[in-house]
Structure 1
Amino acid sequence: MTDLKTYLSDGIEYAERAGTGPVLVLLHGIGSNAASFAPLMPYLRTDWRVVIWNAPGYGQSTPLTSNWPVASEYAEALLGLFDRLKLNDVLLAGHSLGTLVAAAFATTYRERVARLLLASPALGHGMSRGGALSPAAQSRIDDLQAMGPDAFAASRASRLVYAPDANLDLVARVQRGMAQVKMPGYGQAARMLASGRLLDDAQRLGLPTDVIVGANDRVTPPDGAARAHAALRPQWRGSYTLLPAAGHALYQQDPAGFAAALTVLTKDAREGGQMEVTK
């Protein structure tokens, strides 16, 4: 991964780019991993220290012990990494499923986060833990088990990319990343997604929080992102950024636009409101 070195810390694999400036922590989505952020690195400020974890059960990270973990259990695992790396006052950015973890972390460990970014936010399905899974979550698990990771990734990757026929290289990259998912980590993540309630968490957040989404996102569409933005308390509601030429894999499809929005959002003086970023 560009400018990134990979480490293992007490069962959590993470990638890091050294830097002297602000600390950016990135959390990937359910069908992805830390390596997916590599295309973003050249567009970030060179002084930023960047830390990207592989969530429990992804890459070389040890799965959680619970068959059906909730977002707070992932947040506890993330806290351990924060403690070991002495991370404080960070910009925390979660993508898709990673927004559920990011919001749970920022709600519980507010003092560790300076600002929060919810990218392509997954709202969660609001199911009770231990009950019947939501059909969407159950189908993820069933399809992976029935098809195997390669065919599973091939069946889903194009949905994450805007205009996939015109972006075959990006579809292939997304597919390679998704083909690395495995059990039990993917099943745990799917169950966490089923029990997630991002809108409830958004109302409890007590720090500046911004939302960014691709205008052509078919997985977590802009109307859901707008709901998450509206659920934030007014005093903490930051910007709503729409990337016009991106789908769900927005930081891979438009890394320059994503990085530009991210850079602006780190400025404490930034006012809330909607911003549309164009290239």
Structure 2
Amino acid sequence: MTSSAFTRAFTLTHADALVRFPEQRIDTAQRTIGYRKAGDRHPRTVSIVMLHGIGSGAASWVRQMETLGDAYQVLAWDAPGYGKSSHVEAVSPVASDYADALSDWLDALGIERCVLVGHSLGAIIAGSFASKQAARVEGLLLLSPAGGYGAAPAHVREEKRDARLAMLVELGSQGLAEKRSANMVSADAGEDAREWVRWNMARIDPAGYAQATHLLANADLASDLTHFKGRVEVAVGAEDTITPPAACEQIAKAANVSLQVIPGAGHAGYIEAPVRYSALIEAFSAQCKQRKQCMGATQ
């Protein structure tokens, strides 16, 4: 699919996209997970599963659903504690708590293997899942990955955690959206992208956000990536000030891959520059599909 094809595909307003890709939910043995879905499963291709960041939700991926849904089954979850999804049980959870929830959800949907796309905090969850269940991961695409503070001294982890929790108490969901959403995009981002980031951030559940804050403090993505030997790509927007290229370079090194830097994009690059990011996701998924077919031919 070419970039021009992606451009033509963006025909829906965000309001229309929410209707076309409505919220769904499924009950597993352990919890309820909310999600959005595009396309159907194709026997000869792969399912793409998208995991959002700490201030977002499944709806943030609707542009990718719009462009990729014709060729792939595309699923985006609301992480535990977001949208319609049940919270994890631990007050101070670790990445494996969310990876277990992801496994439950994929089991309930009957998805044995998938391409995992993780943005920011979602990259931490994706990395933990891949380290535990590598056989279920066709490929791991990490966009502006948050590394977590698990390898930092205890006082640093606590300071980072407590500062974010205090900000949540002070501002609430609406205040976070108003005060913090501008940091998610580059200075040149359009108002449509800015509004979409604000809308998603304003919908967060404070309790779920607080648990995710503990997850961020406890996680060590770089360590998890050393246990996954499958296909990995790491990309970041050149204008990302939240997980800047220098920080993402360390994640790429841990995965033993080169960092891809997307010109002109900020932290929420897939919202700000959906054409480029959809093309990136499609190209990565196509490579995973080709690899899957080649492996199948040799078995």
Q: Deviations over 1:204-224 (max 9, x none)?
A: 112111111101000000111
| Partner in structure 2 of residue 150 of structure 1 | 174
1:34 matches 2:58: yes
| Partner in structure 1 of residue 25 of structure 2 | 8
The answer on whether the counterparts of 1:2 and 1:41 sit within 8 Å (CA) in structure 2 is no
Q: Matched residue of 1:91: which SS?
A: strand
Q: Percent identity?
A: 34
Q: Matched residue of 2:74: which SS?
A: strand
Structure 1 pair 215–128 and aligned structure 2 pair: CA distance change class (3 A) = closer
User: Aligned match of 1:258 in 253, 277, 280?
Assistant: 277
The answer on whether the counterparts of 1:2 and 1:38 sit within 8 Å (CA) in structure 2 is no
1:185 matches 2:208: yes
The answer on whether the counterparts of 1:123 and 1:198 sit within 8 Å (CA) in structure 2 is yes
Map 1:194-205 → 2, pairs under 5 A: 194-205=217-228
How large is the Cα RMSD of the aligned pairs?
2.1
Distance 1:6 1:45 in 2: 16
| Partner in structure 2 of residue 276 of structure 1 | none
Gaps of 5+ in 2: 1-17, 292-299
| Partner in structure 2 of residue 169 of structure 1 | 192
User: Aligned match of 2:255 in 208, 211, 232?
Assistant: 232
| Partner in structure 1 of residue 158 of structure 2 | 134
Structure 1 pair 145–242 and aligned structure 2 pair: CA distance change class (3 A) = same
Worse-superposed segment, 155-164 or 65-74: 155-164
Corresponding residue pairs, total: 265
Q: Which amino acid aligns with 2:34?
A: E
Worse-superposed segment, 50-59 or 195-204: 195-204
| Partner in structure 2 of residue 76 of structure 1 | 100
Point out the structure with the larger helix share: 2
The answer on whether the counterparts of 2:144 and 2:237 sit within 8 Å (CA) in structure 1 is yes
Q: Which amino acid aligns with 1:58?
A: Y
Q: Which amino acid aligns with 1:257?
A: R
The answer on whether the counterparts of 2:38 and 2:69 sit within 8 Å (CA) in structure 1 is no
The answer on whether the counterparts of 1:215 and 1:245 sit within 8 Å (CA) in structure 2 is yes
1:218 matches 2:235: no
Distance 1:100 1:33 in 2: 15
Gaps of 5+ in 1: 271-279
User: 1:128, CA displacement in angstroms?
Assistant: 8.4
The answer on whether the counterparts of 2:233 and 2:259 sit within 8 Å (CA) in structure 1 is yes
Structure 1 pair 64–153 and aligned structure 2 pair: CA distance change class (3 A) = same
Distance 1:120 1:2 in 2: 28
User: Aligned match of 2:133 in 109, 120, 124?
Assistant: 109
Structure 1 pair 226–129 and aligned structure 2 pair: CA distance change class (3 A) = closer
User: 1:132, CA displacement in angstroms?
Assistant: 7.9
Structure 1 pair 232–252 and aligned structure 2 pair: CA distance change class (3 A) = same
1:247 matches 2:266: yes
The answer on whether the counterparts of 1:97 and 1:193 sit within 8 Å (CA) in structure 2 is yes
TM-score by length of 2: 0.83
TM-score by length of 1: 0.89
